[in-house]
Structure 1
Amino acid sequence: MTKVVITGSNGLLGQSLLNLLLDASKYQVFGFSRGKNRSGREDFTYVSIDITEEVTLKKELLKIQPDFIINTAAMTHVDVCESEKEACDLLNVEVVKWLKEVSEEISSHIIHISTDFIFDGKKGYYKETDIPNPLSYYGLSKLKSEEVLKNSKIDFTILRTILVFGRVYDMSRSNIVLWVKSMLEQGKEITIVEDQYRMPTYVEDLALACKISMDKRATGVYNIASSELLSVYKIAQQIAEAFGLNKSLITPISTSTLNQTAPRPPKTGFDLSKTNKELGFYTKTFKEDLERFKKTL
Structure 2
Amino acid sequence: MGFTYHLTNKKDNQATQVSFLEYISTVTKKVLITGSNGLLGQKLLDKLRNNSTYTVIATAKGVDRYLEEGYSYESLDVTNHAEVIAIMQKHKPDHVIHTAAMTNVDACESDKELCKKLNVDAVQYFIEACKQTGAHFIHLSTDFIFDGADGPYDENAVANPLSYYGQTKLESELLLINSDIAYAILRTIIVYGVVKDMSRSNIILWAKGALEKGQKINVVNDQYRNPTLAEDLADICVLAMEKRAQGIYNASGKDFMSILEIVERVADFWNLDKSLITPISAETLNQSAKRPVKTEFILDKSVKELGYNPHSFEEGLKIVNNQLNHN
Q: Same fold (TM over 0.5)?
A: yes
**Match for residue 241 of structure 2?**
214
Q: Are 2:289 and 1:289 aligned?
A: no
Deviation at 1:266, TM superposition (A): 0.5
One of 118, 123, 127 as aligned partner of 1:100: 127
**Match for residue 184 of structure 1?**
211
One of 86, 91, 95 as aligned partner of 1:68: 95
| Contact 1:3–1:68, Cα closer than 8 Å, also in 2 | yes
One of 165, 168, 171 as aligned partner of 2:195: 168
Paired with 2:213 and 2:61, the residues of 1 have a C-alpha distance of 32
Deviations 1:45-95 (A, max 9, x none): 100122211111211111100000100000000000011111000000000
SS at match of 1:111: strand
| Contact 2:49–2:69, Cα closer than 8 Å, also in 1 | no
**Match for residue 50 of structure 1?**
77
Paired with 1:293 and 1:125, the residues of 2 have a C-alpha distance of 27
Task: Look up the equivalent residue of 2:214 and give its one-letter code.
Answer: G
Paired with 2:76 and 2:140, the residues of 1 have a C-alpha distance of 20
* Number of equivalent positions: 297
One of 258, 264, 267 as aligned partner of 1:231: 258
**RCO greater where, 1 or 2, for CA within 8 Å and sep 6 or more?**
1
TM-score of the superposed pair, with normalisation by structure 2: 0.89
Deviations 1:244-294 (A, max 9, x none): 211111110001101000000011010011111111112232122212222
Paired with 2:148 and 2:53, the residues of 1 have a C-alpha distance of 40
**Match for residue 22 of structure 1?**
49
- Segments of 5+ residues of structure 1 without an aligned counterpart are none
Paired with 2:67 and 2:84, the residues of 1 have a C-alpha distance of 24
Task: Look up the equivalent residue of 1:105 and give its one-letter code.
Answer: Q
Alignment of 1:54-203 (within 5 A): 54-203=81-230
Q: Max radius of gyration: which structure? A: 2
SS at match of 2:42: helix
| Contact 1:65–1:106, Cα closer than 8 Å, also in 2 | yes
Task: Look up the equivalent residue of 1:234 and give its one-letter code.
Answer: E
RMSD: 0.9
| Contact 1:40–1:170, Cα closer than 8 Å, also in 2 | no
| Contact 1:40–1:169, Cα closer than 8 Å, also in 2 | no
Paired with 1:262 and 1:94, the residues of 2 have a C-alpha distance of 21
SS at match of 1:192: strand
Deviations 1:144-198 (A, max 9, x none): 0000100011110000000000011211100000100110111100000000000
More displaced stretch, 125-134 vs 239-248: 239-248
One of 254, 269, 288 as aligned partner of 1:242: 269
Deviations 1:185-212 (A, max 9, x none): 1110000000000000000000010001
> Structure 1 vs Structure 2: percent identity of aligned residues?
50
**Match for residue 58 of structure 2?**
31
Deviation at 1:8, TM superposition (A): 0.5
Task: Look up the equivalent residue of 2:173 and give its one-letter code.
Answer: E
Paired with 1:276 and 1:57, the residues of 2 have a C-alpha distance of 33
| Contact 1:197–1:230, Cα closer than 8 Å, also in 2 | yes
Paired with 2:118 and 2:76, the residues of 1 have a C-alpha distance of 13
TM-score of the superposed pair, with normalisation by structure 1: 0.98
Deviation at 1:123, TM superposition (A): 2.0
